[in-house]
Amino acid sequence: MTVLRPYGDTTGDGMVQVSFTLPVPHDKRAEGAAVQLATKMGLDPATVVHAKAMGEGFTFFVVYGRVRHLVDMHQVVVAERDFPLLGSKEINSNIRSRLRRKLSVVGACIGTDAHTVGIDAILNVKGIAGEKGLEYYREFKVVNLGAQVTIPDLVERARAEKADAVLVSQVVTQRDAHLHNTRAMSAAFREAFPAERRPLLVVGGPRFDELATGELGVDRIFGRGTTPREVASYLVHSLTTRKSA
Ligand code: B12
């Protein structure tokens, strides 16, 4: 099927659920306001199925309603994986045979961002979703700088470690901090390194648009639910094809 309609109670009924917070105390008028907003968003009919006061003067809502919009699967554009997903043995052996040295990565959360769980999941041995992080791979040399690293410090450490790739995490998106920080990071690396010596620049975080690499000046963006094996496979693919190119 190429044209889809959301499924709620019965196939193709168009029912969806949305959640949001309004800056009003929780009462009947607040619920009316939530329905008005949902109706303006195209949910018709719209019903508040959950409302809860969130501190003083704020209410969180879940609204359930019907939309008329259709999804055309032919028009869906996503960043497809364009590299093979390798197992840990292949990852290690490819690095050994193609790079002939350890693959050096430097990771950090930059700016004021202190959300290290995501980058730790990718880099630390403990990993995520049943997969070990990059530290587990014998042929990776991993330096994880942790939280709130400044861009000059990141550039300096990447140089000192002869980093093949720099892995940056950005979770906070308030005022587009993740976009500003990523552009600033990319600009700093492009200034500090000649093009052929610049490390691969990889950013990740749950709210990035994975298609925005060109706009942000990075080589790859990884979003929500990324696993270490995907990142390891990407790095091996990019760096070994780059080397032989
Ligand atoms: C845990 C947490 C914290 C912890 C962080 C502890 C730590 N050491 O990381 C603490 C309590 C410190 C914290 C603080 C704050 N937090 Co907080 N936090 C969260 C929370 C609940 C979970 C984040 C998390 O750990 N996810 C799990 C990891 C595994 O997922 P992930 O980060 O998405 O990572 C995956 C992918 O995105 C990807 N990935 C991520 N990075 C990278 C990097 C690379 C290179 C690659 C390849 C992949 C990759 O791979 C990972 C694995 O799959 C989220 C809400 C939520 N449920 O997401 C809020 C949230 C992120 N926090 C938020 C906020 C606002 C804050 C504070 C500003 C609150 C405050 N007013 O003080 C502070 C900011 C602190 C700071 N200076 O950064 C907001 C951000 C809103 C926004 N739009 O920016 C959120 C969304 C909560 C909310 N709904 O309001 N927080």
Structure tokens at 65: 């309603």
**Closest atom of ligand 1 to CA, residue 173:** 84
**68, pLDDT greater than 60:** yes
**Closest atom of ligand 1 to CA, residue 107:** 45
Q: Which residues contact 169 (CB under 8 A, 6 or more apart)?
A: 107, 108, 109, 113, 115, 116, 118, 119, 122, 203, 204, 205
Hey, which residues does 149 pair with through a beta bridge? 110
Q: Indicate the residue type of 3.
A: V
Q: Indicate the residue type of 66.
A: R
**25, pLDDT greater than 50:** yes
Nearest of 10, 12, 50 to residue 30 by alpha carbon? 50
**214, pLDDT greater than 70:** yes
Burial of 38-53, coded b for 16+ CB within 10 Å and e otherwise, reads beeeebeebebeebee
Q: Indicate the residue type of 74.
A: H
Only one residue has tokens 């975080």, namely 205
**Closest atom of ligand 1 to CA, residue 220:** 47
Q: How confident is the model at residue 1 (pLDDT cuts 50, 70, 90)?
A: confident
**245, pLDDT greater than 90:** no
Hey, which residues does 83 pair with through a beta bridge? none
What are the respective helix, strand and coil percentages of the chain, to the nearest 5?
35, 25, 40
Q: What is the DSSP letter of 96?
A: I
* pLDDT reported for residue 40: 98
Is 126 an active-site residue?
yes
| Alpha carbon of 59 to ligand 1 centroid (Å) | 22
Nearest CA to ligand 1 atom 87: 172
Nearest CA to ligand 1 atom 62: 172
Mean residue pLDDT across the chain: 96
**62, pLDDT greater than 70:** yes
Is the whole-model pTM more than 0.75? yes
Stretch 11-34: mean pLDDT: 97
* Residue among 81, 83, 115 to mutate when testing ligand 1 (max atoms within 8 A of CB): 115
How crowded is residue 59: how many other Cβ atoms within 10 Å of its Cβ? Answer: 22
Ligand 1 contacts CB of residue 225 (under 6 A): yes
* Residue among 81, 124, 171 to mutate when testing ligand 1 (max atoms within 8 A of CB): 171
* pLDDT reported for residue 244: 47
For residue 34, count CB atoms less than 10 angstroms from its CB and return exposed for 0-12, middle for 13-18, buried for 19 or more. Answer: buried
Q: How confident is the model at residue 243 (pLDDT cuts 50, 70, 90)?
A: low
Q: Which candidate in 126, 132, 141, 243 is catalytic?
A: 126
